[in-house]
Structure 1
Amino acid sequence: MLNYFWVGLEKSGGIILRLITMIILARYLSPQEFGTIAVLVVFVSISNVMAEAGLGGALIRKKVLTELDKSTVFIFNFCTSLVLYSIIWMFSPIIEGFYGSDDMATVIRYLALIVIIKSFALVPNVLIVRNEFFKVHSKILIFSNLLSSFVAIVLAINGVGLWSLVALYLCEAVISTVLILLFVKPSGNLHFSISNLKVHLEFGFTVTSSNLLNVIYNNFLSFLIATSYGVRMAGFYYQANQYSQSIANALTAIIDKVSFNKLARAMNDPKTFKSHYEEMFITFTYLGIAVFSLLAFISQDFIVFILGSEWSKSGEALQILCIAGMGILIDGCSRSAIKASGLVSRLLKVDVYRKIIGCIALIVSVEYGFIVLVYTYSLITLVGSLLNLYLFRSLSEKNVLIYVVSFLIMSVGLSFISNVICGIYEDVNLIVNIITKMFIFTFTYTLVTTFLIKLNKHPIIPLILSNKDS
């Protein structure tokens, strides 16, 4: 439980810092500049997944980790990152020409250095997870977030513009990598084994394919928005996605760091495995759906208050993207168990069909406008996550799909009730509106939850948080 606390502290601290940073940067930067970064981050994200190649998960799953394992993975990861960076360097003028945005080639060449920098931290991060050094790791990441945010804000205030966002990403990668290497010092052993690499890639290739599909699909929306409606609209989407995605990523990162390690160790004990999975899944989905429901409820007032009225389009997008956030969280919970159980090949097949259908739906919805496109993406993400639960239902004794549907119905119902109550009293002051909405939603959610817990053993109600098997 202490591990969850430290990883949770790291992620919640990261969210708060990033939130404050984006609020300040939005006062100095335009939607066009945010849109440029949104487009370029797609290429960096894809490269990171390809460079990592799923080898981090392979090392975590291995019972006995040798120096040869660590050295082989590091060399492969570093060399792959160099190749990927070279490809980005060569194609950067084409990317700039395609979007018609000045300095894009130069910006992506600096931004893509993150791929090489992060290759030095892959193996140390694996060792941190295996040895459960979450306390130190959390402190390192919070400090790197704080310092990089400070640098970016100072640069933005001094009129650097787009480069303040580049500095934010680069400084965060450099500082965190250096501090991690100081804590987990490299052994200096640089031996490489092809046979050793093949063993890790058997697991890593499938995981990489699945992760790559997810990254491409999740960033496909940014690409469509930028190409169909312009880089400026991509900037509105980027700001909205920052808030929903950061919460979803924070929760799924806690699951990946702590729960995956716990589940991987219990994979030879089906009863313990299922017990851990059910406990993790029910807890995270219940809390996560509540958080996203609250954020959706206050999103439009929230965005206008913190960023200004020129960002109101981001408020509309954020309200919708909270649906996708729920889907990403549910997916993260199930994927952790699927990867730990070794069913990644089956997961990849499901992902391929999901992403193909999703991309076709997004392309079709482009002509109906920005809001419809975001709705399409969000609903497909949520429905796809529920489909995964059904297809991999054998991983738990309880029918966790019933729990999720119950949580979703409760959240929608309470959001509607809270909206009706807030409609009776609505102040022109945005901060008063936000506080009022937060209080009413939280109060009703807590009240209903308490009521359901008290009726936990009632024979006619399929109660949320029931300890009975479905």
Structure 2
Amino acid sequence: MNNASKQSSDIEQPAKSTFSMSLFWLGSAQVLGRIVRLASSIILARLLTPEVFGQVAIILACFELICTPTRRITSAALIKMDDDSLFASLPNANRTNWIAAITAFVAMSLLSWPLAFFNQDSTLIAPMILMATSYLLLPFGMLYAAINLRANNMRRVGRAILWQTITDGILTAILALSGLGIWAIILPKVLVIFVWIAIHRYHNPLFQAQSLTKPDQAKPRSAWTITQMLRFGSQVGLSDFSITLRQNIDYLLVGYFLGIEALGIYFFAFNTSLGISLGIIQSYGTALYSHLCDKSNQAWDSMEVELQKRYVHSLKLILKITVPVIALQSILAPIYLPFVYGSHWIEAGALPVFVLLCLSGLVRPIGEATSQLLISIGESRLNLSFNLGFTLLLAITISVCSQWGLTAIALGILVIHLIAMPAFNLYIHHFILSSRKGAKQDQLKGFNREVHHDA
């Protein structure tokens, strides 16, 4: 083995180990949290009607669609910055977070009225406005979460996810048993934001650098303006929004075509079938972006090669985890679904929908990996174009299949995912990454010629 290969191997192993540990902390937090949530979901499934599940699906879908563009409005930029730019940009990042949070609160509050009118259900208004207040809490922890992500402190990030989920599950179960109905689901989701904030702020390095974040001590040449933050964050946010729209468009369309009761059945089947696997996939996406943006110990001429290695390795790792989980769920579904959640869900037709949606999770990690890769290499527009195109295709599929009911919709969703996700991954892998690698090699050759010429 020559020195270059040995050096590359020495760099690659710690990078793989770091990503594996990051995925372990985030994934284990999601799994443990989902176990607690499983207990609360069993209680909810036995106490609440499909209509209430349908109302919750509408509220949570709207919340996610509005929240997603703001979630990484500044963190995506902060993670990529060097230290000087980071500390100089923190005050503007904080202001940007507040602008995004207030805008999101106003948008969801106003949206509650037309949704209530459209669904002829005025009881949607108050829960939606209460859910919107959680946006106003997020800026108190967003900078601290970005610092933990930038430092690859996934143990802290995973802990925040775990205790947030555990608290949510316990409070939901208690309030549901107390007979609070829809409030048993909405109220805990607002309260657990305080848990997330507290864990991210605890012993955060940002506290030790408060003097560096004052505007009068910031370096103006390296600080990002609010406009720059919004421009960069909006590109990432739109890409994330397109993913969230893709993941929630089915709720909106099922409710539109088949009604709130059918939406409640679909919402139940989706969350019980894909709850654990989607939690792992989301953790994977969070860890992967930080992993791909980490350029430490990478030689300038090997960055593209290292990026591709990290991407391929991470994708193989997540598939090794999710495929067995999904296969086991699908096989055992006819046994544990009626036993755990109640036979009335089988009578409502949830079983085939459950199995088909569960199988669609086999290729969902591929789409998540590809999206995070494109964002990390500055191809947010291409990522946005793909996700919007896929969302349009998904909407057409659901609209057509809705004529034959929920099972046909679930089958259409499975087929579209099986075709589109691998095809998009192959396109990015063989065209985008290969062209970037070739361009980098040509750039390096030109640089070497200049060096020899000067010598």
Instruction: Specify whether residues 149 and 120 from structure 1 end up closer, same or farther in structure 2 by C-alpha distance, changes over 3 A only.
Output: same
The two structures have a TM-score, normalised by structure 2, of 0.80
Structure 1 position 83 matched with structure 2 position 103: yes
CA change 1:154–1:82 in 2 (3 A) is same
Where 1:121 maps in the other structure, the secondary structure is helix
Which residue among 144, 149, 152 is the counterpart of 2:164? 144
Give 1:13 deviation, angstroms. 1.1
The structure 2 residue matched to 1:272, chosen from 301, 306, 315, is 306
Helix, strand or coil: the match of 1:176? helix
The counterpart of 1:343, out of the listed 379, 394, 400, is: 379
Report Cα offsets for 1:224-256 as digits up to 9, x if no partner.
Answer: 221222212111111221134433332223323
The answer to which of 348-357 and 40-49 deviates more is 348-357
The answer on 1:261 being equivalent to 2:290 is: yes
1:224-303 aligned within 5 A:
224-266=253-295, 268=300, 269-303=303-337
Query: Counterparts of 1:182 and 1:354 in 2: how far apart (Å)?
Result: 40
The change in CA–CA distance for 1:139 and 1:205 in structure 2 (over 3 A counts) is closer
1:66 match: secondary structure: helix
Stretches of structure 2 lacking an aligned partner (at least 5 in a row)? 1-16, 435-455
Alpha-carbon distance change, 282 to 205 in structure 1, aligned in 2, over 3 angstroms:
same
Within-5 A mapping of 1:325-364: 325-364=361-400
Change (3 A) 1:216 1:225: same
Residue of structure 1 equivalent to 2:113: 93
Aligned partner (choices 33, 36, 39) of residue 55 of structure 2: 36
Equivalences, count: 397
Q: 2:30: which partner in 1?
A: 11
Cα RMSD for the two superposed structures? 2.4
Q: Is the 8 A contact 1:51 1:115 kept in 2?
A: no
Confirm whether residue 131 of structure 1 aligns to residue 151 of structure 2. Answer: yes
Deviation per residue, 1:229-286 (Å, 9 max, x gap): 2212111111221134433332223323333222112485122222221211112123
Given that 1:144 and 1:172 are in contact with CA atoms closer than 8 Å, whether structure 2 keeps it comes out as yes
Say which SS state the counterpart of residue 132 (structure 1) adopts. Answer: coil
Question: Take 1:183 and 1:227, find their aligned partners in 2: how far apart are those partners?
Answer: 47
Q: Could you tell me whether the CA contact under 8 Å between 2:113 and 2:125 is conserved in 1?
A: yes
2:92 to 58, 62, 72: 72
Question: Does 1:119 pair with 2:148?
Answer: no
2:362 is paired with a residue whose SS is: helix
CA contact (8 A) 1:206 1:345 kept: yes
Superposition map of 1:46-445 within 5 A: 46-52=65-71, 54-64=73-83, 65-184=85-204, 187=210, 189=213, 191=215, 196-266=225-295, 268=300, 269-312=303-346, 313-394=349-430
SS of equivalent to 1:287 = helix
CA drift at 1:358: 2.2
Match of 1:442 in 2: none
Deviations 1:1-52 (A, max 9, x none): 4333222221111221222221122222222111111011111111111223
In structure 1, distance between residues paired with 2:231 and 2:112:
32
- How far residue 53 of structure 1 moved from its aligned partner, in angstroms, is 5.2
Equivalent AA in structure 2 for residue 175 of structure 1: V
Distance in 2 (alpha carbons) for counterparts of 1:26 and 1:51? 31
Tell me, yes or no, if the aligned pair for 1:324 and 1:377 is still in contact at 8 Å. yes
Offset from partner CA, 1:116-136 (integer Å, 9 cap, x none): 222332221111112232223
Q: Which residue of 1 aligns with 2:12?
A: none
Q: Judging changes above 3 Å, is the alpha-carbon distance between structure 1 residues 356 and 143 closer, same or farther for their aligned structure 2 residues?
A: closer
Cα distance in 1 between the residues matched to 2:138 and 2:414: 30
Instruction: Give TM-score scaled by structure 1 length.
Output: 0.78
| Correspondent of 1:22 among 25, 32, 41 | 41
In structure 1, distance between residues paired with 2:382 and 2:325: 31
Is the CA contact 1:331–1:385 (under 8 Å) kept in the aligned structure 2?
Answer: yes
CA distances 1:303-326 after superposition (whole Å, capped 9, x unpaired): 211110111233221101123222
Instruction: Report the residue type matching 1:156 in the other structure.
Output: A
Aligned-partner Cα distance in 1 for 2:270–2:394: 18
Aligned mates of 2:109, 2:282 — CA distance in 1 = 30
Specify the code of the residue in structure 2 equivalent to 1:301.
Answer: I
CA distance in 2, matches of 1:4, 1:356: 31
CA separation of 1:328/1:265 partners in 2, compared to 1, >3 Å: closer, same or farther? Answer: same
> In 1, distance between residues paired with 2:416 and 2:74?
29
Change (3 A) 1:396 1:346: closer
Structure 1: stretches of 5+ with no match in the other structure: 398-470
- Higher RCO by CA contacts (8 Å cutoff, separation 6 or greater): 2
